[in-house]
């Protein structure tokens, strides 16, 4: 629709208080001076959690939860209004709009407390209030800077299926609605400020895209509007070569591929919602991760090719708070359906399976899930295998919560021989025991399971083994082969 369009998404900390909202407005205003901008906002930091907690407290009959919620929301947002909006009338009008949303969500909580029942639809209606409030604040802050801006509810733009809490967009319907609604605004040089996280079914029932879903909102809109680029403004400098709390010399990556970014999102680098890149990768629309607190920094650009380097490895990620579950026993050899039964049990516990590995003899199937899902999963497994355990066909279901996953990530690892070898010998030299290994068939990562207590050392060792503290040279660059080979 507009070859000059930027979609800019601001995360919860980037609109965390009045000062941050003003900074976000300045970023949008600058871009709007040069081209078209659609802004997408998250709720102010912490608000969505508060809404969900109030909904859950109400569901167990806590009548006071609604009132407490209303008071905290009022304080937080009213405080921002007073700082952001100078004119008395405009301030009163904005306050009245926000008050209406707060009253709506408060009565939903009251109703929930009376019925002691929280349906997924009601939870969506409650948890979406934060974005409806913050979009109005950012639009007002933009108008204060002289930019024509309008808060828009994404229920008017993003059409989804009816899976409350984890809705998926219907792209062609969304393209139609979003274009019809936004094109006239953009034509008159107005900035739409859209609520992230939210959508609606074809017949208008509000849905949400899942926690952290505002990133996804931004790329859905960017894709259907044929944006030039999408910028995710957040509170970190971009995607790093490792978690800086584990590796102080970690660097910001200039450019990575969609595949690498997706792999990093999956393995714990929580910069992006895992589904974020789906809508844009086919159309090759670049996505930037940038720091709204340091807008002069470039950030990380995510593209189809992603600045490949000779080194192959781009980043090392680590994930703790995970649990290894092993289903094993000699009887498993040749016993049909054990894997199916195992993962059906994990699925009925709604556990997110992060990694799977099976020993070649078939004696053990092990997999890793979030520790929070472990108790439920083990209960499901014991029930599913009750008779096999009794007949000793399955000898044990064991649980090890004292582990971590470390993943070596990079698109060029495929076709770069020796990366797994270097990984294992770097750890072997340090006497580190590797509990299990998995390589994604995509070859974008090699993942290792190690003891939790050794995670930091493993990440540091691999980060320096692959020279990630130094800036990578471009694969296509004219640098000499030997210089490249030495990195």
Q: Choose one: 205-213, 299-307, 318-326, 356-364; the region binding ligand ASP (CB under 6 A).
A: 205-213
Contact (Cβ atoms closer than 8 angstroms) between residue 444 and residue 309 = no
Residue 169 contacts ligand ASP per CB under 6 A: no
Q: Choose which of 29, 37, 130, 241 interacts with ligand ASP (CB under 6 A).
A: 130
Q: Choose which of 5, 6, 8, 11 interacts with Mg ion (CB under 5 A).
A: 11
Q: Which is nearer to ligand ASP, 56 or 348 (CB)?
A: 56
Q: Choose one: 18-26, 206-214, 399-407, 464-472; the region binding ligand ASP (CB under 6 A).
A: 206-214
Residue 196 contacts Mg ion per CB under 5 A: no
Q: Choose which of 212, 279, 306, 329 interacts with Mg ion (CB under 5 A).
A: 212
Least separation in angstroms between CB 282 and Mg ion: 24
Residue 16 contacts ligand ASP per CB under 6 A: no
Residue 13 contacts ligand ASP per CB under 6 A: no
Least separation in angstroms between CB 25 and ligand ASP: 18
Q: Choose one: 40-48, 261-269, 350-358, 408-416; the region binding ligand ASP (CB under 6 A).
A: 40-48
Least separation in angstroms between CB 223 and ligand ASP: 17
Q: Which two tokens stand for residue 408?
A: 């070596």
Q: Choose one: 60-68, 183-191, 208-216, 380-388; the region binding ligand ASP (CB under 6 A).
A: 208-216
Residue 130 contacts Mg ion per CB under 5 A: no
Select from ligand ASP, Mg ion, none the partner in contact with residue 48, using the beta carbon and a kind-dependent cut-off of 5 to 8 Å: ligand ASP
Q: Which is nearer to ligand ASP, 13 or 445 (CB)?
A: 13
Q: Which residues contact 409 (CB under 8 A, 6 or more apart)?
A: 260, 263, 264, 267, 313, 314, 315, 316, 317, 444, 445
Residue 16 contacts Mg ion per CB under 5 A: no
Give the chain's length. 487
Least separation in angstroms between CB 165 and Mg ion: 16
Which among 123, 113, 119 has a CA at the least distance from the CA of 64? 113
Q: Choose which of 214, 259, 291, 357 interacts with ligand ASP (CB under 6 A).
A: 214
Residue 126 contacts ligand ASP per CB under 6 A: no
The contact pattern for Mg ion, residues 420-459, with x = CB under 5 A and - = no contact, is ----------------------------------------
What own/partner pairs with CB < 8 Å and gap ≥ 24 does 77-84 have? 77/44, 77/102, 77/133, 77/137, 79/17, 79/18, 80/17, 80/18, 80/21, 80/44, 80/137, 81/137, 81/140, 82/18, 83/18, 83/19, 83/22, 84/18, 84/21, 84/22, 84/137, 84/140, 84/141, 84/144
Q: Which is nearer to ligand ASP, 48 or 140 (CB)?
A: 48
Q: Which is nearer to ligand ASP, 214 or 241 (CB)?
A: 214
Q: Choose which of 213, 268, 279, 329 interacts with ligand ASP (CB under 6 A).
A: 213
Residue 197 contacts ligand ASP per CB under 6 A: yes
Residue 45 contacts Mg ion per CB under 5 A: no
The contact pattern for ligand ASP, residues 259-278, with x = CB under 6 A and - = no contact, is --------------------
Binding site for Mg ion (CB under 5 A): 11, 212
Binding site for ligand ASP (CB under 6 A): 12, 42-43, 48, 130, 196-197, 211-214
């Amino acid at each position: 629709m507009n070859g000059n369009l930027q979609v800019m998404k601001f995360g919860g900390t980037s609109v965390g208080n009045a000062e941050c909202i003003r900074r976000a407005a300045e970023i949008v205003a600058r871009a709007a001076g040069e081209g078209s901008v659609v802004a997408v906002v998250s709720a102010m930091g912490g608000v969505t959690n508060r809404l969900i907690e109030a909904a859950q407290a109400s569901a167990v009959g806590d009548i006071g939860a609604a009132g407490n919620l209303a008071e905290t929301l009022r304080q937080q947002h009213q405080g921002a209004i007073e700082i952001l909006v100078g004119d008395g009338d405009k301030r009163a009008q904005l306050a009245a709009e926000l008050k209406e949303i707060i009253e709506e969500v408060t009565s939903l909580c009251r109703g929930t407390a009376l019925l002691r029942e929280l349906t997924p639809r009601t939870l969506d209606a409650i948890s979406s209030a934060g974005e409806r409030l913050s979009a109005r604040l950012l639009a007002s802050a933009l108008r204060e800077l002289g930019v024509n801006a309008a808060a828009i509810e994404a229920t008017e733009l993003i059409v989804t299926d009816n899976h409350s809490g984890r809705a998926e967009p219907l792209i062609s319907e969304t393209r139609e609605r979003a274009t019809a609604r936004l094109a006239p605004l953009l034509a008159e040089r107005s900035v739409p400020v859209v609520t992230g996280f939210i959508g609606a079914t074809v017949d208008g029932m509000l849905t949400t895209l899942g926690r952290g879903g505002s990133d996804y909102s931004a790329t859905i809109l960017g894709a259907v509007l044929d944006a030039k680029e999408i910028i995710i403004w957040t509170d970190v400098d971009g995607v790093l070569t490792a978690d800086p709390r584990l590796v102080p010399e970690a660097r910001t990556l200039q450019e990575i591929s969609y595949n690498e970014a997706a792999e990093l999102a999956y393995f714990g680098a929580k910069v992006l919602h895992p589904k974020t890149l789906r809508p844009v990768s086919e159309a090759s629309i670049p996505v930037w991760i940038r720091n709204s607190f340091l807008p002069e920094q470039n950030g990380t650009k995510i593209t189809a090719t992603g600045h490949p380097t000779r080194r192959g490895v781009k980043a090392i990620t680590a994930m703790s708070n995970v649990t290894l579950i092993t289903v094993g026993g000699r009887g498993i050899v040749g016993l049909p359906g054990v894997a199916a039964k195992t993962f059906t049990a994990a699925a009925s516990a709604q556990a997110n399976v992060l990694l799977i590995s099976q020993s070649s003899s078939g004696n053990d199937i092990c997999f890793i899930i979030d520790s929070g899902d472990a108790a439920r999963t083990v209960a499901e497994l014991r029930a599913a295998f009750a008779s096999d355990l009794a007949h000793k066909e399955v000898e044990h279901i064991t649980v090890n919560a004292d582990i971590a996953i470390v993943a070596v990530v990079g698109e060029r690892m495929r076709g770069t021989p020796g990366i797994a070898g270097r990984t294992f010998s770097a750890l072997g030299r340090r006497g580190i025991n590797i509990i299990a290994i998995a390589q994604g068939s995509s070859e974008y990562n090699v993942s290792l399971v190690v003891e939790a207590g050794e995670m930091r050392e493993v990440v540091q060792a691999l980060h320096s083994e692959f020279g990630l503290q130094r800036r990578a040279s471009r694969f296509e660059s004219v640098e000499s082969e030997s210089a490249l080979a030495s990195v």
